[in-house]
Amino acid sequence: MSDPLSQVVELLSPRAAFANVVSGKGNWAVHYSEFGKPSFCVVLEGSCRLTVRGHAPLDIRAGDFVLLPTTPAFTLSSFIAAPPVHFDPDQVAGGTQELRYGEPTGSPDMRSLGGSFEFDSANSSLLVSLLPDVVHVRESARLAQLVQLVGDEASGQMPGSELIRSRLIELMLIEAMRATTTGDAPPGLLRGLGDKRLAIALKQMHANIAHAWTVEQLAAAASLSRSAFFARFSRKLGMAPKAYLHAWRMEVAKERLRRRDMSVTEVAESVGYGSASAFSVAFARHVGLSPGRYSRGVEVTG
């Protein structure tokens, strides 16, 4: 698999933790304290206002999708101010009943489906590094369908639901990342993939991370001069080409060590190192642990 987005999502191994319906009527406001885990929401009907700590208020309406990679404190409300009701997200997570804000009866002015997900991978910080604090995709029918399916699986408890939810979350993340490549992604892979010329070089790097890529080879793939490619790549990715390749090699190595189905020597060769000793030095410098200690630590804590 050489598609960078697919590789990132596969490495993260996401799975849905919960999803439930939220509705509101009249004048209302709810304030959630910091959650720390990735969360998502799609507006099914009507509209409301989302205010995430540190960001300007955001009006969201039917069909809109919002992803908060770390879910800081936020307020959800109607458009007319009301005293906020405080919620602890850890107590709400996992509930199966519809959450109702504002007036308890009558047809709601707003309905949404929201939830959170977790990662089986030790590399969950990857998502935070790739995406802005708030991902807002307007009127995405594909994302709305995916989130609705996540909700159906979360409430249905049918055989195979856990596997289906994890696959749906993978698709949802890829759709959100696709939208972000043309938006306000921070310096990193998504911004690089939004540049057609850099995308060619990035796909080649990801297709063969063990190759000893030179800047000249990558510049030729992108049809740019060496200096133009280096400057453009460094600006869009936030690091030089070789630094990016090294960082990605280390992320892949961490996941392969975590699985514990390859020896350190095999992992070293698979990510482009000619010897286990050279790999061990590079890995320890990047991660802070030797490959062996990292693998044993994951086994004990994971």
Looking at the fold, whether 176 and 211 belong to one and the same domain comes out as: no
Q: Look at strands 39-52 and 85-87 and give their pairing.
A: unpaired
Look at residue 298 in the predicted model and tell me its pLDDT.
58
Q: At which of 136, 155, 180 does a domain end? A: 180
Look at residue 115 in the predicted model and tell me its pLDDT.
84
pLDDT range class, residue 302, cuts 50, 70, 90: very low
**Average pLDDT, integer, range 195-210:** 94
Looking at the fold, whether 102 and 169 belong to one and the same domain comes out as: yes
Looking at the fold, whether 140 and 214 belong to one and the same domain comes out as: no
Looking at the fold, whether 140 and 94 belong to one and the same domain comes out as: yes
Looking at the fold, whether 142 and 116 belong to one and the same domain comes out as: yes
Looking at the fold, whether 30 and 88 belong to one and the same domain comes out as: yes
Two tokens at 211? 């190759």
How do residues 225-246 score in pLDDT, each as one tens digit? 999 999 999 999 999 999 999 9
DSSP bridge pairs for 52: 74
**Secondary structure of residue 179 in the 3-state scheme:** helix
How do residues 87-126 score in pLDDT, each as one tens digit? 988 877 666 678 999 999 999 999 998 888 888 766 667 7
Domain that holds residue 260: 243-301
How many domains is the chain partitioned into structurally?
3
**Average pLDDT, integer, range 16-23:** 81
Looking at the fold, whether 131 and 198 belong to one and the same domain comes out as: no
Better-predicted residue by pLDDT, 159 or 276: 276
Look at residue 131 in the predicted model and tell me its pLDDT.
83
Burial class for 280, CB neighbours closer than 10 Å (0-12, 13-18, 19+):
middle
CA-nearest of 107, 1, 117 to 46 is: 107
pLDDT at 140 over 50: yes
Looking at the fold, whether 210 and 277 belong to one and the same domain comes out as: no
The b-or-e profile of 206-238 (16+ CB within 10 A means b, else e) is beebeeebebebbbebbebeeeebbebbeebbb
Looking at the fold, whether 154 and 288 belong to one and the same domain comes out as: no
CATH code of the domain covering residue 43: 2.60.120.280
Looking at the fold, whether 226 and 274 belong to one and the same domain comes out as: no
DSSP bridge pairs for 172: none
How do residues 28-84 score in pLDDT, each as one tens digit? 999 999 998 889 888 989 999 999 998 999 999 988 889 998 899 999 999 997 999
Looking at the fold, whether 137 and 156 belong to one and the same domain comes out as: yes
Two tokens at 92? 């709400």
Amino acid symbol at 233: F
pTM: 0.78
CATH code of the domain covering residue 275: 1.10.10.60
* Residue 286 CB-half CA count within 13 A: 20
Q: At which of 180, 201, 222 does a domain end? A: 180
Amino acid symbol at 131: L
Q: How far apart are CA 23 and CA 125, in angstroms?
A: 31
**DSSP labels for 36-94?**
-S-EEEEEEEEEEEEEETTS--EEEETT-EEEESS--SEEEE-SS--PPEEE-HHHHTT
Looking at the fold, whether 51 and 90 belong to one and the same domain comes out as: yes
Q: How far apart are CA 302 and CA 221, in angstroms?
A: 40
